[in-house]
């Protein structure tokens, strides 16, 4: 059993790109079946990588998005991941939006489930 890490992101930047990422998260959430087969559901981080044009087989994606919201131009994303923050996924998102998005990241280790 892994130790679970809970990471909170606050993302700001160009309004159209923050909105674009938020819209992709909504699209994933609203899918009847996950974009990629997995045991985490439609908000698995591998599905996020795929919808952003990446290959989840090349990026460590062990976890999922618990919640997300957009308020006053700030996109908030909460994740539950195994053993630590999924920095490869974050780095991939930074490559997709290289000049406009800025992140604040907070994370803590959880209990074994």
**Alpha carbon 44 to its chain's center:** 8
Q: Which of 20-24, 41-45, 84-88, 98-102 has the lowest mean pLDDT?
A: 98-102
Q: What is the pLDDT of residue 107?
A: 61
pLDDT band (50, 70, 90) for residue 62:
very high
Task: State how far the Cα of 110 lies from the Cα of 108, in Å rounded to an integer.
Answer: 6
Mean pLDDT for 53-62 is 96
Name 103's bridge partners: 11
pLDDT band (50, 70, 90) for residue 81:
very high
Does residue 2 carry a pLDDT above 90?
no
Q: What is the pLDDT of residue 49?
A: 98
Does residue 88 carry a pLDDT above 90?
yes
Mean pLDDT for 69-78 is 95
Q: Which of 3-12, 43-52, 85-94, 101-110 has the lowest mean pLDDT?
A: 101-110
Cβ-based neighbour number of residue 89 at 10 Å: 23
Q: Which helix (H) or strand (E) covers residue 15, if one does?
A: helix 15-29
């Amino acid at each position: 059993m892994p130790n679970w890490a809970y990471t909170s992101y606050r993302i700001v930047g160009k309004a159209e790109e923050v909105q674009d990422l938020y819209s992709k998260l909504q699209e994933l959430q609203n899918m009847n079946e996950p974009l990629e087969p997995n045991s985490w559901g439609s908000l698995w981080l591998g599905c996020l990588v795929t919808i952003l044009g990446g290959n989840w087989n090349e990026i460590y994606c062990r976890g999922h998005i618990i919640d997300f919201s957009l308020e006053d131009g700030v996109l908030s994303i909460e994740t539950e991941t195994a053993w630590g923050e999924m920095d490869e996924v974050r780095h991939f998102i930074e490559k997709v939006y290289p000049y406009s998005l800025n992140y604040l990241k907070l994370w803590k280790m959880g209990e074994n489930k």
